[in-house]
Amino acid sequence: MKLGDIAKLVRGEVKGDPDIEISGVRPVETAAEGDITLFLKKKFLDHLKSSRASAVITAEAQAVDMAQVITSAPQLAFARVIAHFHPSPRPEPGIDSSARIGKNVKLGNQVHIGPYVVIGEGSEIGDGVALHPGVVIGDRCRIGNHATLHANVTVYSESVLGNHVILHSGVVIGADGFGYTIDEQGRHFKIPQLGHVVIEDHVEIGANSCVDRAAMGVTLIKEGTKIDNLVQVAHNCVVGEHSILVAQVGVAGSSTLGHHVVLAGQVGVADHIDIADMVTVGAKSGVLGHLPDARKTYGGTPAVPAISWRRYVAIFPRLPELFRKIREMENRLNKIEKQDSSG
């Protein structure tokens, strides 16, 4: 592919020879002749200067002896080039002889159903869907067009997946929400979980993550949201459009996240919490109350605005010293008061 064509693909401009032939994509350290690479930070300029790459994608022209594609979003451009050279493989359409398909199931065109897949009664599978080995889909589910469910995904009954949804291995959609109450003998009495899960278009969910069915109504993951590995979304939650939930996040029941919310690794959100649009919560934070201010960044437990949290963190290492000084001041003050009272 010629460099000029790559520039058109990423809506960039070429500095240098647009007819250079590009055959691959690699990091700056390992790139060879024929490869295009990415440059983001000035501190790595020496690496770029010593690279053998034929071209580089960058936000602004660099003082290096190689062709360049200049674009305002170099990381996005690089991702698009990678996708062009390395498109996601799609398995061949067909139904493996070991698959088990229930009554009244509707299968779309060009569907791949791998070994030992189970599809429950009355479910609908859209066009171009790929169900990899060991996938289990319950009764009366709907799977949208071009969805991909990797090995050993489980989708409980009456769950709904939109178009172009990707579920990685071990994902569980629609298991019972964690709902119990105490009976007269002090035992945990299970509250029936009668709702379901809806996952909208272009959602991707990482390995071994779980989205629980609603107690009543729906647990909803809105369009374009990306969920990392080992994430728990509890019953009746709503996760807004294009949000990001990083590894080991836990969102308790009936919480609502706005659009473009980012929860960094190991964030915990208490139940019945509302988080405004475009809020970012730093890693390991605990959200114990509503975060109503859009576009803000929060951190700590309980989560507070990031500016305050940074001040707290700066003070923490000094607490023993400050405590010692306060005790010394208290002792001195006590001595002064005793002297005044005896005088």
H/E run at residue 304: strand 304-305
Q: Is 215 exposed, middle or buried (0-12, 13-18, 19+ CB in 10 A)?
A: buried
Spatial separation of the C-alpha atoms in residues 250 and 245, rounded to whole Å: 9
Pick the catalytic residue from 164, 196, 235, 260: 235
* 205 Cβ neighbours under 8 A, 6+ residues apart: 165, 166, 167, 168, 171, 173, 199, 211, 221, 227, 231
Cα 156 to its chain centre, rounded Å, is 22
Q: How many helices (H) and strands (E) are present in the chain, helices listed first? A: 5, 38
Spatial contact of 36 and 25, defined as CB atoms under 8 Å apart: yes
Taking alpha carbons only, the member of 269, 273, 272, 271 closest to residue 281 is 269
Spatial separation of the C-alpha atoms in residues 35 and 131, rounded to whole Å: 34
With H, G, I as helix, E, B as strand and everything else as coil, classify residue 265: coil
> Assign residue 165 a region: left if phi > 0, alpha if psi is -120 to 50, beta otherwise?
beta
Structure tokens at 135: 């996938």
H/E run at residue 100: strand 100-101
**188 given a catalytic annotation:** no
- Side-chain-side CA neighbours of residue 5 (13 Å): 9
Residue showing tokens 């690479």: 37
Taking alpha carbons only, the member of 58, 54, 61 closest to residue 18 is 54
Q: What positions carry a catalytic annotation?
A: 235
